[in-house]
Structure 1
């Protein structure tokens, strides 16, 4: 609401300008989520709704005689009158009195003003994934004051997975100019400079910097690289030289070369939520060995959950499905002392994998027998080895786990500790968990060579944290929910979300 008032010249623009220059996207989202009305304004809004929906406006009973003063009209009528006026008249109207100023800040007028002011770039609002080789990324385009701003979201510094996301502005569009809007590139350390945005198609757009010299630093490439390491990794070159120097040089080269040229973005949606989901789906930050922290989208698809990479690395690119959880097969962890043995955990997981393999063979065998016989009545339930199908209830998993074997109800915690020999970037993981399920994780060589899915354990700690033990790698990934408020990011339909997942995965292959 305050945004529209600024666009129309209403309200204390000087103070608003200072706020929009200083605040980031997280503060903007928080401010948007807080109530911006006082009780009087809420009463005005309720009255405006009544006027729009019912003749007579103020209910039954005798109507007061007509008044000559505009100030004495009911507030809900003033809302309708002011909302129909040209935007150029509103600044003068707001200076008449306090009552008019308050009315001009109501949400009804704000929505109409925004529809008039926002130009063709309103279509780029929402979440996007940049095409930066295997690395991907997360861009959030929002209205912020007098601008449309594209904020690039980055994971926290490794291994602090519970820390808030970092963000930096990449471009901004001036809202006040309708026909030939000014686009500015914000990348680099020399301030805003001339840029360009091209809307390729409905769910795709590209950006280009027209003054790439603003990306350069006076000390040359060496100073740029050291500054980038401090900002992106929180450490100096000497601190991390021995860990992953070659990877860092490659990442920096791709990152800067893409922003020096044209960069394409493709729309992504947040996963839809259902009442029977294990936890609320969304974006999570996860640890990936020497690759640091990456952003993963957790979504639910019936009896399965999937983690899709929004950011990637040289081994597994962005867009690939990093983990898949089979919610039909719950694993009961042993007591803490037994859990410290990696061989015991491995036995439990491999038992489930073998059970699944046998079930699949039995199903295929049953289908072949049915096709060969050809006489079985469709009403007759199929008997034989195919009966224990893929949707085996969790409580019947047997020795591998289940609600009855667990002895703990969902929501109750059970002790958890990593087995000896399992590596973890973050030792500050929760020591209790709610439940565990069988899952598979995607591993591959450099350049996504020889990809394969290997067994693992999905550990649900709480509503905002989960983990995954990669059995073959003997490593543990901890994931923490991204708490940023993303606007204009909901999928228009479940099918649109599924199509988006298929699209980003096909681009990563």
Structure 2
């Protein structure tokens, strides 16, 4: 009781507000329930009485004059928070998370008045969302920092981060960030084929900001006629949708033909004449799906950057790379024990976004032949197929041991545990062998292997056996085929598709994405499972 009385600034004779509220709640009265941490910050600092305005002026301008009821006798240390100078309370409250401030505002009217101070909310905007703009210029439009926090940043915080749009099999990469006093959704696009080392291209799809009427405004940025009215709906956790309310802004004066030429030039960096004989039907279908989705309602699903570990071969992340005649794609490289996986963030009519395009077996490194023999595709194929057969035998032996373990007695299972320990020891020895591998070795593509990018590195660190996913149009007859994973350096790797006799080169996307880290390894694995199930 004494602690609560000191916090509220009242004594036992006047009663304790918190205890009274709890008593009313137990009696089934109308007292406020305990607010959760996700309470709307707009509740903090509310009220518009003349007394509140006077208190706010005392706090924000000059040295605050203490309220008579708040003054403490000279020479005595303050026993209540209410006895502290208001400017000190502003500093204390400004260091708390914004989601906690509404609960604090319910303690007493004095706290509520202090929480009207814009300095508190300016600090929360800066520390929680990285808003570095001079927020004082908002005074011109009458928008406060509390408005920015409560009606823009806090309200739309769930859509910050990385997302994959649901555009048929094509997918994509959307990054929603706080940019100044805006929230902007940037669509990231790979460089023009085949320049994998070039930086990513990006363009805005939508933006959200506050207008003079103090409410958030959503604008669609797609098209060539400037911002126009749009709508955003948070469907459920880790999923939201956008809708354009003025799709006529997407149209160009020259009609569909001009739109198609512009799209080819911007998205592919090529003219219609350049690719007239290359996959024309596929491009027309892709443009139709892409445009029709933007004209209607587009759904986005959250994706995370892969978590990293000191034992990873290289830092996991997003890479851009060549993929046959489909241009450049975005792939996410992640590590899972003795396996590494490349998941498609962007896809094509053959292999849709979300599918696992390559899988690398880190337990089976490949020793490439000397540079002269490496030019012979049949020699490389022989080495890879031998490892493939070895992997197949090991998998069969593992299945057989598992069956015996399941059928054996507890004592036999204990012996099986010793066998598993032996396997770990062998794996450890194998890892030691990999650590002793030379830092680099000459590399050249075998004769007959097609590569859209001839400017690949001529040395590599190490190679591993892997499999790549191939399929017919519409993801028909998917099949995993053997290949070679080639690690060039920390930021580049390649994959040789034996059956296709083609080579893909991938380069790291060097963008500092924010709000994109997975909360846990389990959350990341669940995300991978979800986007793959949506792709089938």
Bin for the TM-score computed over the shorter chain = 0.7 to 0.9
Q: Tell me what 2:310 maps to.
A: 275
**CA displacement at 1:405 relative to structure 2:** 9.1
Partner of 1:340: 375
Q: Is the 8 A contact 1:356 1:390 kept in 2?
A: no
What is residue 237 of structure 1 aligned with on the other side? Answer: 272
Alignment partner of 1:435 is 2:472: no
Corresponding residue to 2:363 among 328, 339, 346: 328
User: Partners of 1:451 and 1:198 in 2: how far apart?
Assistant: 35
Determine the structure 2 residue equivalent to 1:212.
Answer: 247
**TM-fit CA distance, 1:378:** 2.7
Q: Give distance in 1, aligned partners of 2:93 and 2:473.
A: 64
1:19 match: none
- Given candidates 176, 179, 197, the residue that maps to 1:144 is 179
Deviation at 1:278, TM superposition (A): 0.6
Q: Hey, what does 2:140 align to over in structure 1?
A: none
Map 1:393-408 onto structure 2 (within 5 A).
Answer: 393=427, 404=433, 408=437
Distance 1:406 1:277, change over 3 A: closer
Matched residue SS, 2:393 = helix
SS of 2:413's equivalent? coil
Alignment of 1:62-73 (within 5 A): none
The residue aligned with 2:397 is 362
Give the equivalent residue in structure 2 for 1:417.
Answer: 444
Give distance in 2, aligned partners of 1:405 and 1:215: 54
The match for 1:52 is: none
Q: Residues 390 and 342 (structure 1 numbering): CA distance in 2 closer, same or farther, change over 3 Å?
A: farther
- Separation of aligned partners in 2, 1:206 and 1:405: 47
Please say if residues 170 and 348 of structure 2, whose CA atoms lie closer than 8 Å, have aligned partners that are also in contact. yes
Instruction: Name the counterpart of 1:20.
Output: none
Alignment partner, residue 27 of structure 2: none
Match of 1:478 in 2: 505
Residue 373 of structure 1 deviates from its aligned partner by: 5.8
Q: Determine if contact 1:119/1:178 at 8 Å carries over to the other structure.
A: no
1:312 alignment partner in structure 2: 347
1:13-43: CA deviation from partner (whole Å, max 9, x where unpaired): xxxxxxxxxxxxxxxxxxxxxxxxxxxxxxx
Assess, with a 3 A threshold, how the Cα gap between structure 1 residues 214 and 347 changes in structure 2: closer, same or farther: same
Q: Which has the higher relative contact order, 1 or 2, with Cα contacts under 8 A spaced 6 or more apart?
A: 1
Where does structure 1 lack aligned partners over 5 or more consecutive residues? Answer: 1-72, 94-100, 397-401
Deviation, structure 1 residue 358:
1.2
Query: Is the partner of 1:393 in helix, strand or coil?
Result: helix
Counterpart for residue 295 of structure 1: 330
Per-residue deviation, residues 222-261 of structure 1 (Å, max 9, x unmatched):
0111111111111111011112211111111011000000
CA distance in 2, matches of 1:88, 1:371: 67
Normalized against structure 1, the TM-score is what? Answer: 0.76
Q: 1:324 to 1:76 in 2, by over 3 A?
A: farther
Deviation of residue 80 (structure 1)?
A: 4.4
Q: Deviations over 1:374-430 (max 9, x none)?
A: 58533325899x99969963866xxxxx97599733xx1111100011100100001
Give the gaps of 5 or more residues in structure 2: 1-84, 96-110, 132-144
**1:378 is paired with a residue of what secondary structure?**
helix
Q: CA deviation at 1:169?
A: 0.4
> Aligned in 2, Cα 1:211/1:331: closer, same or farther, shift over 3 Å?
same
Matches within 5 A, 1:87-166: 90=118, 107=127, 115-116=149-150, 118-166=153-201
Q: Give TM-score scaled by structure 2 length.
A: 0.72
- Relative to structure 1, the CA distance from residue 150 to residue 200 in structure 2 (aligned partners, 3 Å threshold; closer, same or farther) is same
2:399 and 2:383 map into 1 onto residues whose CA distance is 25
Question: Which secondary structure state, in structure 2, belongs to the residue aligned with residue 237 of structure 1?
Answer: coil
SS in structure 1 opposite 2:278?
helix
Q: Is the 8 A contact 1:79 1:109 kept in 2?
A: no
Tell me the alpha carbon deviations over residues 262-321 of structure 1, each in whole angstroms, 9 at most, x when there is no partner.
000001110011111111000000110100100000001111100000000000000000
Separation in 1, partners of 2:233, 2:183: 14
Aligned 8 A contact 1:149 1:169 in 2: yes
Query: Is the contact made by 1:148 and 1:175 (CA closer than 8 Å) also made in structure 2?
Result: no
Secondary structure of the 2:412 match is coil
Give 1:119 shift.
3.9
Q: CA deviation at 1:368?
A: 3.9
Q: Does the residue aligned with 2:533 lie in a helix, a strand or coil? A: helix
Secondary structure of the residue aligned to 2:414 is coil
Residues 416 and 229 (structure 1), Cα distance of their counterparts in 2 relative to 1, 3 Å cut: same
Change beyond 3 A, Cα 1:475–1:86 = farther
Q: Deviations over 1:305-355 (max 9, x none)?
A: 000000000000000000001111111111111110111111111111101
Count of residues in correspondence between the two structures: 424
User: Which is greater in Rg?
Assistant: 2
User: Could you tell me how far apart the structure 2 residues matched to 1:483 and 1:433 are?
Assistant: 21
Residues 163-215 of structure 1, C-alpha deviations (whole Å, 9 max, x = no match): 01101100111145797421110000000001111110011110000100000
Paired with 1:110 and 1:455, the residues of 2 have a C-alpha distance of 46
